[in-house]
Amino acid sequence: MQIEIDPASEIPLYQQLRDRVVEGIAAGRLRSGDKLAPVRTLAGQFGINVATVVKGYDLLRVEGLARSNRTAGSVIARGPLGDRADGVSSVESRWDAAARAGWIARLRTVLAEGVAQGESDGDLENIARDILSTFAAERKGS
């Protein structure tokens, strides 16, 4: 899966790398068990510091979205509902409660931004639904 990162952005490159991978998982372009490119290979393709890629991969690992595999390097560890290779059924048993609480806090901020800018609750719900259905459509397509 090819991704693009913006060297001129204020968002750090490792964060962009992590974000693109998370979106790739949501859209089904990356599946549980998929191997991630070796850090040196990816850093070489971007022409960026190896440490930046390591940091991005570490973030994914801490979040449980990737894991280290002795033979294959880093592999994607989780996937959307219905694409579970790990056989775990409930989100709670996989997703660390504190991490999930952190995500809800971030989502809260993002939603607050929309509300503060004057978006209606209905519009915000529609936008969220649109984004989710794009992911679902891409998952079905891939």
Choose which of 26, 30, 59, 65 interacts with other proteins (CB under 8 A).
30
Choose which of 7, 82, 87, 141 interacts with other proteins (CB under 8 A).
7
Q: 5 and 46 in contact (C-beta within 8 Å)?
A: yes
Size of interface with other proteins, in residues (CB under 8 A): 29
- Calculate ∠ Cα 16-22-24, nearest 5°: 100
Is 24 among the residues that bind other proteins (CB under 8 A)? yes
Task: Give the residue from 58, 48, 51, 69 showing the smallest Cα distance to 21.
Answer: 58
**Nearer to other proteins among residue 10 and residue 130 (C-beta):** 10
- Please name every residue paired with 35 in a beta bridge, in sequence order, or none if there are none: 75
Is 90 among the residues that bind other proteins (CB under 8 A)? no
Is 59 among the residues that bind other proteins (CB under 8 A)? no
Q: 74 and 57 in contact (C-beta within 8 Å)?
A: yes
State the nearest-atom distance from the C-beta of 7 to other proteins, in Å: 5
Give whole-number Cα distances, 109 to 14, 80, 116, 123, in Å. 22, 23, 10, 16
Q: Which span (19-27, 77-85, 86-94, 128-136) binds other proteins, by CB under 8 A?
A: 19-27
Q: 26 and 19 in contact (C-beta within 8 Å)?
A: no
State the nearest-atom distance from the C-beta of 18 to other proteins, in Å: 11
Residues near other proteins (CB under 8 A): 1-8, 17, 20-21, 24, 30, 34-38, 40-50
